[in-house]
Amino acid sequence: MRPIVVLPPPVCLSVINCVTFPIPNVTPDQAEQQLLKPNEWSYCDYFWTDKKDPQGTTSVAGFEVLLQKQLKGKQMQKEMAEFIRERIKIEEEYAKNLSKLSQSPLAAQEEGTLGEAWAQLKRSCHDEAEVHLKFSNKLQCEVEKPLLTFRDNFKKELKKYDHHIIDLRKQLASRFAGVEKARKALADRQKDLEVKTQQLDIKHMNKHEEDIKKARRKSTQAGDDLMHNVDLYNRAQSKWFEEMVTTSLELERLEVERVEMIRQNLRQYTTLRHETDMFNQSTVEPVDQLLQSVDPARDRELWVREHKTGELRPVDMDI
Amino acid sequence: MRPIVVLPPPVCLSVINCVTFPIPNVTPDQAEQQLLKPNEWSYCDYFWTDKKDPQGTTSVAGFEVLLQKQLKGKQMQKEMAEFIRERIKIEEEYAKNLSKLSQSPLAAQEEGTLGEAWAQLKRSCHDEAEVHLKFSNKLQCEVEKPLLTFRDNFKKELKKYDHHIIDLRKQLASRFAGVEKARKALADRQKDLEVKTQQLDIKHMNKHEEDIKKARRKSTQAGDDLMHNVDLYNRAQSKWFEEMVTTSLELERLEVERVEMIRQNLRQYTTLRHETDMFNQSTVEPVDQLLQSVDPARDRELWVREHKTGELRPVDMDI
């Protein structure tokens, strides 16, 4: 006779949404888990458990938290591009106003060296406008556009990851249900065997032994079936585990890339700002030079040559 | 018997609006006139004659041309101040827009070292706004205001000069009329004397001689009277001449002062522009520093610490 296989339910593991976790200090033969990537605060180490929704009974998969982080990152990228767009509009407005001012006829009648310096001052406002317009154009090409277009199809990509992981969890849940079903079937079979074994029927001894043998066989089969289901479960969990590690590391890499991309673009912003201030400074130089050359005596000469009425001085009347 | 004084009309002088000028190469005893202030293109050398209005018969006194120049200068000063006012408005608008943008909530949810760099970038827009606001305030105090308030009461001053010179010209014209009147009276007396001298009246010899004597006396008196009027004229012309020299030199000095004042204020404008661009440059530095410190690994750590769901990794289901 084969020994009776009694399979206890898994009491040394905690089960959260069909995933089996060790219970620290309780589960036997469990060495303390080391982080897969120590000192790296890696995604693959910290998002195994589902997060319980504080207000209700629903929970969010750890992977879902990682995905939300990615979506938020995409949103941040978009909002930064919007901010740059607003800056571009402000620069264009400023440029437009300066350009218009530069065409003002105010004091256009000032002549000579002073008039030239004044005309250059007005012109410098137009030069400043050009500098700011150039700034806004470069902001658009070199900062806003890259921020807008980086990872255009990202949400689609993320959906793929999401669906894949969700499918693996579904399979896991399905296998877990299979284990539970097999466990229950085994329990039924064991109970049946026990009941039959304890009965004593002197009258129908042969049939009874037959019945016990049958019950024992079924019990053994149910035990095999349970082991098989547990094996299927563990394979499904492994598959999910591997995918979790792979995908979360990929998301981690993508996040590093995102941060670096943004940093680059914001550096480009500050570079353009530096550039702009320098170009702007240079618009003042021609004005300074002409102011240096302002010469009241020269201006008097120019004006007198043009407007003099007569050099001949009056003399006394003669008689 | 006294000699007959025959006074010819002044044929070697040209008279323009009651002012007597020499005729070059014609008027005797006239050395070539040297400029009062050679090589200086001084007002006192070039505005003696009245300027004829090309379209009509009216004319404008040379001094009037100088006065118009002064009024135009005052107008230029005012228009320059208006231009600066327009620049101030543009700067205030730009500052207002940048300040508003700096308070934008866009991408405020970005966290960690990247979030700090982003927050500083937004803050730098406010810093830029402050720089431009400071620029506009200084433009108002240090450029616009001086341009507006320089020689507040100038038009009144000019009116005084104007009226004084006009009065002297009126006196001159009046004295000139006096000379013309005396000249005519002399001519009449001379004619009378001639007529009487040519008459022969044997019948009334004594009375006739008496008449001739009387006519001769009147003629002499008329001659003295003419000389006296010419003397009065010449004194009036001298007075006007001196005032012309003094006042035109004063206007010349005022114009030099005006040009220098404007040059100073426009230099202040360029100084403020330089300053502003430099201050503006410095608003970017904190952003650069924080961008330098962006650390994706650090940001991951911060985020994972806050959002992790669980470090315990799943294990196989046991049987």
Residue in chain B closest to A41 (alpha carbons) equals B301
Residue in chain B closest to A226 (alpha carbons) equals B319
What pLDDT is attached to residue A11?
61
Taking only the tens of pLDDT, chain B with its 319 residues reads: 444 555 455 567 889 899 999 987 777 666 778 999 999 999 999 999 998 877 777 889 999 999 999 999 999 999 999 999 999 999 999 999 999 999 999 999 999 999 999 999 999 999 999 999 999 999 999 999 999 999 999 999 999 999 999 999 999 999 999 999 999 999 999 999 988 888 766 677 777 888 888 999 999 999 999 999 999 999 999 999 999 999 999 999 999 999 999 999 999 999 999 999 999 999 999 999 999 999 999 999 999 999 999 999 999 998 7
Name chain A contacts of B260, Cβ cutoff 8 Å. 296
Is the Cβ of A152 closer than 8 Å to some Cβ of chain B?
no
Q: B86, B59 in Cβ contact below 8 A?
A: no
Single-letter residue type at A201: D
Chain-chain contact of A22 with B315 (C-beta, under 8 angstroms):
yes
The torsion angles phi and psi of A110, rounded to 5 degrees, stand at -65, 135
Measured CA to CA, the distance from residue B10 to residue A319 in angstroms comes to 7
Distances in Å between the Cα of A33 and the Cα atoms of A21, A233, B8 are 11, 21, 135
Residue with tokens 């952003």: B287
Rounded to a whole number of angstroms, the distance from the CA of B189 to the nearest CA of chain A is 17
Chain-chain contact of B125 with A267 (C-beta, under 8 angstroms):
no
Measured CA to CA, the distance from residue B21 to residue B18 in angstroms comes to 10
Name chain A contacts of B179, Cβ cutoff 8 Å. 317
Say which of B241, B277, B305 has its CB closest to residue A314: B241
Rounded to a whole number of angstroms, the distance from the CA of B288 to the nearest CA of chain A is 7
What pLDDT is attached to residue B282?
96
The torsion angles phi and psi of B200, rounded to 5 degrees, stand at -130, 115
Is the Cβ of B49 closer than 8 Å to some Cβ of chain A?
yes
Which of A1, A267, A243 lies closest to A143, judged by CA? A267
Say which of B27, B49, B252 has its CB closest to residue A309: B49
Is the Cβ of B71 closer than 8 Å to some Cβ of chain A?
no
Residue in chain B closest to A125 (alpha carbons) equals B87
Per-residue pLDDT tens for A186-214?
999 999 998 888 876 667 777 788 888 89
Query: B286: which 2 tokens?
Result: 């904190």
Query: A65: which 2 tokens?
Result: 């938290």
What pLDDT is attached to residue A291?
98
Which of B70, B239, B251 lies closest to B169, judged by CA? B239
Residue in chain B closest to A268 (alpha carbons) equals B288
> Which helix H or strand E contains B14, and what residues bound it?
strand B13-16
Name chain B contacts of A26, Cβ cutoff 8 Å. none
What pLDDT is attached to residue B205?
75
User: Exposure string (b/e) for B114-145, b if CB count within 10 Å is 16 or more?
Assistant: bbbbbebbbebbbbbbbbbbbbbebbbeebbe
What pLDDT is attached to residue B138?
98
| 3-class DSSP state of B204 | coil
Which of B225, B223, B228, B248 lies closest to B168, judged by CA? B248
- Helix-helix angle B112-139:B205-282, to 10 degrees: 170
User: Exposure string (b/e) for B286-300, b if CB count within 10 Å is 16 or more?
Assistant: bbbebbeebebeebb
Chain-chain contact of A10 with B256 (C-beta, under 8 angstroms):
no
Is the Cβ of A7 closer than 8 Å to some Cβ of chain B?
yes
Is the Cβ of A200 closer than 8 Å to some Cβ of chain B?
no
Distances in Å between the Cα of B256 and the Cα atoms of A237, B76, B251, B252, B269 are 94, 14, 9, 6, 20
Name chain A contacts of B65, Cβ cutoff 8 Å. 307, 309
Rounded to a whole number of angstroms, the distance from the CA of A91 to the nearest CA of chain B is 8
Q: Which domains does chain B have, with CATH numbers?
A: 67-291 (1.20.1270.60)
Q: What is the ipTM of this complex?
A: 0.90
- A residues 90-149 closer than 8 Å to B (CB): 90, 93-94, 97-98, 101, 104, 106-107, 109-110, 114, 117-118, 121-122, 125
Is the Cβ of B284 closer than 8 Å to some Cβ of chain A?
yes
Rounded mean pLDDT for each run of 10 residues along chain A, 319 residues in total: 49 87 77 90 96 82 96 97 98 98 98 98 98 98 97 95 97 96 95 85 75 91 96 97 97 98 98 96 97 98 96 90
Number of Cβ pairs < 8 A linking chain A and chain B: 300
- A residues 166-185 closer than 8 Å to B (CB): 179
Name chain B contacts of A125, Cβ cutoff 8 Å. 87
Q: Provide the H-helix boundaries in chain B.
A: 43-46, 62-102, 112-139, 145-149, 154-198, 205-282, 285-292, 296-307
Is the Cβ of B5 closer than 8 Å to some Cβ of chain A?
no
Rounded to a whole number of angstroms, the distance from the CA of A141 to the nearest CA of chain B is 19
Instruction: Please give the sequence-ordered ranges of beta strands (E in DSSP) within chain A, or none if there are none.
Output: 13-16, 19-22, 51-52, 59-60
> A103: buried, middle or exposed (CB in 10 Å: 19+, 13-18, 0-12)?
exposed
Name chain A contacts of B305, Cβ cutoff 8 Å. 41
> Which helix H or strand E contains A240, and what residues bound it?
helix A205-282
Measured CA to CA, the distance from residue A106 to residue B95 in angstroms comes to 24
| Cβ count within 10 A of residue A65 | 19
What pLDDT is attached to residue B33?
87
Query: A292: which 2 tokens?
Result: 């240096």
Measured CA to CA, the distance from residue A117 to residue A285 in angstroms comes to 11
Measured CA to CA, the distance from residue A102 to residue A96 in angstroms comes to 10
The HSE-up count of residue A178 (CA atoms within 13 Å, CB side) is 18
Q: What is the rounded (10 degree) CA torsion for A123, A128, A134, A135? A: 180
Q: What is the rounded (10 degree) CA torsion for A178, A181, A184, A189? A: -90
Rounded to a whole number of angstroms, the distance from the CA of B61 to the nearest CA of chain A is 8
Is the Cβ of A46 closer than 8 Å to some Cβ of chain B?
yes
Measured CA to CA, the distance from residue B138 to residue B133 in angstroms comes to 9
Say which of A82, A97, A277 has its CB closest to residue B93: A97
Query: B80: which 2 tokens?
Result: 């320059």
Residue in chain A closest to B252 (alpha carbons) equals A300
Is the Cβ of A277 closer than 8 Å to some Cβ of chain B?
yes
Greatest CA separation for chain B: 183
Name chain A contacts of B259, Cβ cutoff 8 Å. 114, 294, 296, 299
- Categorise residue B219: left if φ over 0, alpha if ψ from -120 to 50, beta otherwise: alpha
Rounded to a whole number of angstroms, the distance from the CA of A218 to the nearest CA of chain B is 18
Chain-chain contact of B7 with A319 (C-beta, under 8 angstroms):
yes
Chain-chain contact of A309 with B230 (C-beta, under 8 angstroms):
no
**Cα R_g (chain A), whole angstroms:** 43
Q: B318, A30 in Cβ contact below 8 A?
A: no
Chain-chain contact of B312 with A12 (C-beta, under 8 angstroms):
no
Which of B105, B97, B42, B55 lies closest to B251, judged by CA? B42
> B45: buried, middle or exposed (CB in 10 Å: 19+, 13-18, 0-12)?
buried
Task: Spell out the residues 6+ positions from residue A163 whose beta carbon is closer than 8 angstroms to its own.
Answer: none
Query: A289: which 2 tokens?
Result: 């030079």
Stated length of chain A: 319
